[in-house]
Structure 1
Amino acid sequence: MSFDPGLELGDKITNADVVKIFACGNMGGMRRSKKTGTLVIISDETKGLYRDEWREGVLYYTGMGKVGNQVLNGNQNGTLYYSNSNGVEVHLFEVMEKTVYTYRGVVVLAREPYQTRQPDDHGNMRDVWIFPLKLVDTFEKKIKEAYERDIVKLPNKELGRRFEINASAKGPKKAETTVYYRNPYLKALVKRIAMGKCQWCKAEAPFIDNYGEPYLEEHHVQELANGGKDEIDNVVAVCPNCHRKIHILNKDSYKTELKDIALLNKQRYERMMTYSSMSAKNNRKRG
């Protein structure tokens, strides 16, 4: 029988609530509870070590272990590895802002876990385990919307910090098809730089989206499938009409214009981060 935590998808609770509800420990990204028959896993976006990412409804979750090669024996990596057959129910929380734990629901392995290379807490390259997880309740759109809603509320400095963390050499990966990684913070960042206007036709965004933000779309000047990079100097924010026009007509002159805009975006981003750092420093002095 599955464990009912009494939570709805998207509920935001504290760490103390997690401990009380699941009868688990109060530290770590993987918390086993024999009393409730669960494994609580936490994807914490406020920390830069683990690089968890959603792709097409699957969360690629990094295993536990901060230093050296990650192993399956003697820790909860093994519990998660065999979770589709060992009777342990896995509950996922995401942390988008410190101390706020957002409940995403029960997850199961979407496919076989695998190993890859990532730096450890000392900056040394090591083997880590990646667990592809999917939600049992198939509310991928709802989860994606909640995730993006949290992102657009981040202050400039925190948005820039997470963008930098997620920008580290994540190339395409082969599954059934080639999947191109897109930094979720880059989309929010370039839209913020655009300040509610299409960066190509200069018109106001056509409407306000469900997050209370002017609706613009990200466009990669050089497409990822053609070797383009998911970086600030290759992305612009455009209205839906311009976006379709760019793709349908596909003129070289458009690409030249858009490349110049994307290069300006990099300069605007650098100025925005400098200003945010100076403001934070001044606020600390006044405090």
Structure 2
Amino acid sequence: MRRAHKTNTLVIISNHVKSIYDDRWEGNTLHYTGMGTNGDQSLSFAQNKTLAESGSNGVGVHLFEVFRDKEYTYVGEVTLCGSPYQEPQPDVNGDSRLAYIFPLKVALGSRVVSQDNLQALEKKRSKAAKALSDETLKERAAKSRKQPGTFKQEATQYERSIWVAEYAKRQAGGICQLCLQPAPFHNAKGEPYLETHHITWLARGGEDTIENTVALCPNCHKKMHIVDDRQDVLTLQQRTRHVDTA
């Protein structure tokens, strides 16, 4: 946290890359960890007091998030939406201590996260969850909100050719072009359900062409985006070349 007396503002940073603090979003609420890296935290310590009293002291609180090292994304002005509370967190030495958590919400509008930043955040949160003990994980899960919140996401959408997609599905003939198994089910029209996939992703400069488009079962399609195995890519490239020259 950084206090600016000249502008009567407080800048807070939620670093998802390098930080001992366990900041987390639950719906539209950021549960932000207070200052103090060693031992129990105090509400009378430094800017913890400023943030705790921000609802009445006239100080504007502005939030930045870090999804990549040394890149700061401005979220907006935030306000307290609940009373600060304590929870156990490890300190800089790895010892358990009581940290103060500040529930915060964006004052105007809503939080906007780019697709890349969202993926980075989810990866970070998943890694953190895996490191928790069963007891702590159960406690966190029990305290989570039953209804998920919402936020705006920035994403690049590609206008793909319907002709290319239909051609790929017809060439596949109801058979996944990776695992070579029949489509796992049929859609409401009785057609084998396959999903089109660009061998070289459009986000990586791939072309929306019949040479770069295949039809996959949902399982293989997910695998291509999660595992991204080079041998699978080569296999699909070889099979599309074979179809193209047949």
Contact preservation (8 Å) 2:4, 2:10: yes
How far 1:127 moved relative to its partner?
0.3
- Residue 150 of structure 1 aligns to which amino acid in structure 2? N
Counterpart of 2:80? 109
Counterpart of 2:15? 44
Q: Which runs of 5+ in 1 are unaligned?
A: 1-29, 181-196, 214-237, 243-264, 273-287
How far 1:173 moved relative to its partner?
4.0
Q: 1:160 to 1:105 in 2, by over 3 A?
A: closer
Candidates 141, 149, 162, aligned match of 1:172? 141
How far 1:150 moved relative to its partner?
1.4
Counterpart of 2:97? 126
CA displacement 1:63-112 (0-9 Å, x = unmatched): 11111001111310111011111110000000111111100000000111
Q: For residues 121-270 of structure 1, what are the structure 2 equivalents within 5 Å?
A: 121-140=92-111, 143=112, 145-146=113-114, 148-152=115-119, 163-167=126-130, 168=132, 169-170=136-137, 171-174=140-143, 178=146, 201=184, 203-204=194-195
Contact preservation (8 Å) 1:69, 1:127: yes
CA displacement 1:226-254 (0-9 Å, x = unmatched): xxxxxxxxxxxx96xx9xxxxxxxxxxxx
How far 1:119 moved relative to its partner?
0.8
What is the root-mean-square deviation in Å for CA atoms of aligned residues?
A: 3.7
Counterpart of 1:60? 31
SS in 1 for 2:55: coil
- Residue 5 of structure 2 aligns to which amino acid in structure 1? K
Distance in 1, Cα, partners of 2:147 & 2:87: 16
SS in 2 for 1:54: strand
Distance in 2, Cα, partners of 1:135 & 1:104: 8
**Structure of greater Rg:** 2
Counterpart of 1:74? 45
Distance in 1, Cα, partners of 2:18 & 2:92: 11
Distance in 1, Cα, partners of 2:90 & 2:40: 10
Percent identity between the aligned chains? 38
How far 1:203 moved relative to its partner?
4.1
Q: 1:39 to 1:151 in 2, by over 3 A?
A: same
Contact preservation (8 Å) 2:9, 2:61: yes
Counterpart of 1:87? 58
Q: 1:117 to 1:57 in 2, by over 3 A?
A: same
Q: Which runs of 5+ in 2 are unaligned?
A: 149-178, 185-192, 205-216, 230-246
Aligned pairs, number: 163
Distance in 2, Cα, partners of 1:179 & 1:73: 33
Please, what TM-score do these two structures have when normalized by structure 2? 0.56
Counterpart of 2:153? none
Please, what TM-score do these two structures have when normalized by structure 1? 0.48
Q: 1:203 to 1:69 in 2, by over 3 A?
A: farther
Query: Whose RCO is larger (CA < 8 A, sep 6+)?
Result: 2
- Residue 67 of structure 2 aligns to which amino acid in structure 1? M
SS in 1 for 2:195: coil
